[in-house]
Amino acid sequence: MAVPSPTAPAKPRHSALVRVTHWISALSFFVLVLSGIAILLAHPRLYWGEVGAVGGPSLIDLPLPFVLEVPVRGPGRYLHFLAAWVIVFTGSVYVAGGFAARHFRNLLPARDQLSFRAIGRVIRSHVRFERSNEAELATYNVLQRLSYTTVVFALIPLMLWTGLAMSPAVTSVFPFLVTALGGQQSARTVHFLVACTLVLFLAVHVAMVWLTGFRRRMRAMITGRGPTETYALARAGLSRRELIKAGLGALAGVGAFGVVFRVADRCGLIPANHRGIYGLSETLTYAGQRLLTKLPSMVREFDRSQISMVAPVNGEAPTTEPYRQLMAGGFANWRLQIEGMVARPSSLCLAELKRFPSRSQITHQACEEGWSFIAEWTGVPLSSVLEYVGIHPDARYVFFFAFDTFWDSIDMDDALHPQTLLAYAMNGPALSPGHGAPLRLKIPRQLGYKNVKYLSRILVTDSAKGIGDGLGSGAPAAGYSWYAGI
């Protein structure tokens, strides 16, 4: 039998694919946990079903403070989605490479490992904190195989599912994602519990690595090889031809990215806040959901019996003198200015808006803080008003300005959607000051902070540049996405 040369390269304990994706995923998971805590602190209560808010019954009250400061909550969401995209891409590469290299054969428990005797032996060795020998280090025991396969093929897919189930845009296309879980708040609760399970797995995993030979196992996951293996290091330099090929490949990649970006921009797949460190993840989120919502996309509408008993008010009514005077007069002198890229700039009072065909819909509203409620909204579809003023064919954005200095914008896909309303009534009566009187925007396919209250002016444009900081909204400066479909 041939004896391998002592200087011949040995087969790595972990392939380069496994090692690279392991460390990228580990870093991304750490960011996900920290940013998830920042998001959770905005509303550390968990519910079951569709809705839940302070003032209503809860499933779990976590012993955490309510931290509503924007510097904590906003950037937390940005980091959460950035890390989530990294996890998705590295996970996809890991799974595809694992199937191609038949790596998952090493993760599936063998039949002889599933006996009670074999499992007991592994448990006893862990309880006694026995250090693994080289043979054991080269294989996965049954506990490792069961835990890794559960994480890769059950827990992480469940995290993705529950995350998507909390997206009003995604569930408008695939409502079964949320209904199968029992409701939006149920998805949030399951998401939290699975995250806790993954953190527990990580803690046990790190503890066992430490107790069974930290240096050896870390060396194996960094270099791919054990401490007793010898192998030759390739010291071959790059030739001039290889350097030229690498440079041309890099230039081609940059050029291809530029072409893809321009094509995506022409197709309306680039968000207003595509710049900065979070720009790539914001673009991927927006483009992915916009492609999905090209399909038939209507948010779920509920029965009147499902209207929430508690409809929280987020924020105070404007205290500016113009708004106070209008409110004192029952908003009789209030007018909505509509201008910009329109054929007929208009100034409409509340009575004139009510002459448009109205629409009533009972929909779910989820706040970025975590609470939610169901209410009936009555108003005029924004598309009817835009048709009346005659928007320019090149218009891309509709900006909304309020009496409380808040402003925001949406793209034409949401502006022309039949469920996007200029609402003037809630659950029957006219809007109260707390809920946005006399008129507010209602976009059921996005989170609550996009539903601008106390409207005073609408501006139709072809670009977000030159308005505020050019990011389409005042929200990105506070750490929130311009697009709030998830």
197 and 102: one domain? yes
Is 266 or 407 the better-scoring residue by pLDDT? 407
Per-residue confidence band for 259, with pLDDT thresholds at 50, 70 and 90: low
3-state secondary structure 192-233: HHHHHHHHHHHHHHHHHHHHCCHHHHHHHHHHCCCCCCCCCC
Q: What is the mean pLDDT of the chain?
A: 84
- Considering only the C-alpha atoms of the chain, give the largest distance between any 2 of them, rounded to a whole number of Å: 99
State residue 236's pLDDT score. 42
Q: Which of 50-64, 124-138, 349-363, 365-379 has the lowest mean pLDDT?
A: 124-138
User: What is the pTM for the complete model shown?
Assistant: 0.85
The residue with tokens 């490792």 is 144
Contact (CB, 8 A) for 467 and 473: no
156 and 252: one domain? no
Contact (CB, 8 A) for 371 and 55: no
421 and 472: one domain? yes
- Domain range for 257: 237-266
State residue 232's pLDDT score. 40
328 and 355: one domain? yes
Does position 5 have pLDDT exceeding 60, yes or no? no
Q: What is the CATH number of the domain that holds 450?
A: 3.90.420.10
43 and 101: one domain? yes
CA dihedral 96, 100, 103, 104 (to 10 degrees): 60
pLDDT tens-digit readout, 298-335: 999 999 999 999 999 988 899 999 999 999 999 999 99
State residue 248's pLDDT score. 66
pLDDT tens-digit readout, 114-152: 555 555 555 555 544 445 444 444 455 566 767 778 888
User: Does residue 291 lie in a domain region?
Assistant: no
38 and 185: one domain? yes
Output DSSP code: residue 462. Answer: S
Q: Strand pairing partners for 54?
A: 56
pLDDT tens-digit readout, 152-176: 889 999 999 999 999 999 999 999 9
State residue 218's pLDDT score. 77
**Average of per-residue pLDDT across 207-221:** 75
CA distance 46 to 59: 5
Contact (CB, 8 A) for 383 and 410: no
State residue 224's pLDDT score. 64
Does position 415 have pLDDT exceeding 80, yes or no? yes
Q: Strand pairing partners for 281?
A: none
Per-residue confidence band for 209, with pLDDT thresholds at 50, 70 and 90: confident
247 and 329: one domain? no
E strands of 37-180, at which residues?
45-46, 60-61
- 253-266 in b/e form (b: 16+ CB < 10 A) is eeeeeeeeeeebee
